[in-house]
Amino acid sequence: MSTVAAVAAVTAVTGFNLGALSPVANAATPAAHHYASPTLHFSTHNNAADPTFNQLLGINDRGVMAGYFGSGQPGHPNKGYTLSGDHDQDNYRNENFPGSAQTQVTAINDRNQTVGFWVDSVGNSYGFADVRGHFTDVVDPHGQGAAAGGATTEQLLGVNEQNQAVGFWTDANGNNHGFRYDLRSRTFHEIHVPGQASVMATSINDRGDVAISASDGNTQMAYLLHHGRAYAVTAPGGGNIQAFGINDRDQVVGQYTDSAGVAHGYEWNRRHIRTIDDPNGIGSTVVNGLNNHGDLVGFYVDAAGNTDGFLAATK
């Protein structure tokens, strides 16, 4: 497979007018930011160490991306990396937690601080932060050994410029519990959404607003947490929806499932959502991160069954 399979100036976007936000708590809708949806230019980016499985998960305002290769199946471990510069093979940088069996780098801020999670040899997963090459284990004490069988399942998924990260841990019933983590004080603050049994805090912007994926046990739902109030992001057709990324404009990205059961990426901007499908995909695109320029990253499944990382740039 080539280093970069570029698809220039292709836009696979469909707009849906959602009307007003639906607040979970009784609060005024946050003030809208006027924003015109730009044309997106798609390109595929796969690490040559494994061209069959790549996921791009985060991008900062400098265009540096975070992700990993490897499916996580036996003999095919997750291995983290960042990708900078002109995004060719020479600009991949391996990033793996010391002594880990597997690592995913899930988010990166403008100071190139990264967060993610690592997996040990028996399958426990722990959050981590990497500040200038110094790795720190991040484990919410509520989640230590809380998963089924006394295991630990924890991930850090987002980081902002204010030394705040977000993530979740999993309990013995399989429910997730979101949290915010301060990288300086190393303190945790639990995040809840009324009526939701399972909550993942997936991304945080510089204003402290948080993207959330949650479930009541039956339906996957997405929220914007703004000033402590949760506002629902509604999927086209009312299908399951998850939120994975947020920028300082409170644009949210993620994935939803349509009425035919097909998964699509999306980009949401207060009163409007548009579908994002990579033109090389076969109906299963995930948008996982975005920056303040509106550039998107994620992954899709191609016709050969490979999982490919993509960048959808605004210029």
pLDDT per position as a tens digit, 267-289:
998 778 999 999 999 878 999 99
Average pLDDT score over the chain = 89
Residue 104: partners with Cβ closer than 8 Å, 6 or more residues away = 55, 57, 67, 68, 78, 80, 116, 117, 118, 155
User: Is residue 6 pLDDT above 60, yes or no?
Assistant: no
Walk across the sheet containing 79-83 and list its strands: 54-59, 65-69, 79-83, 92-94
What pLDDT is recorded for position 2?
31
pLDDT interval class at 32 (50, 70, 90): very low
CA end-to-end span of the chain, whole Å?
A: 24
What pLDDT is recorded for position 8?
28
Residue the block writes with tokens 């929806």: 241
What pLDDT is recorded for position 228?
84
In single-letter form, the type of residue at position 126 comes to Y
Return the closest-CA partner of residue 143 out of 164, 168, 121. Answer: 168
Mean pLDDT over residues 82-94, rounded?
96
Mean pLDDT over residues 223-243, rounded?
90
Judged by phi (left if over 0) then psi (alpha if -120 to 50, else beta), residue 201 lies in beta
Q: Alpha-carbon distance 78 to 298, whole Å?
A: 16
**Whole-prediction pTM:** 0.89
pLDDT interval class at 36 (50, 70, 90): low
Residues listed for the chain: 315
Mean pLDDT over residues 108-124, rounded?
97
Instruction: Kindly provide the b/e burial profile for residues 227-254, where b requires at least 16 CB atoms within 10 angstroms of the residue's own CB.
Output: eebbbbbbbbeebbbbbbbbbebbbbbb
pLDDT interval class at 9 (50, 70, 90): very low
User: Is residue 261 pLDDT above 50, yes or no?
Assistant: yes
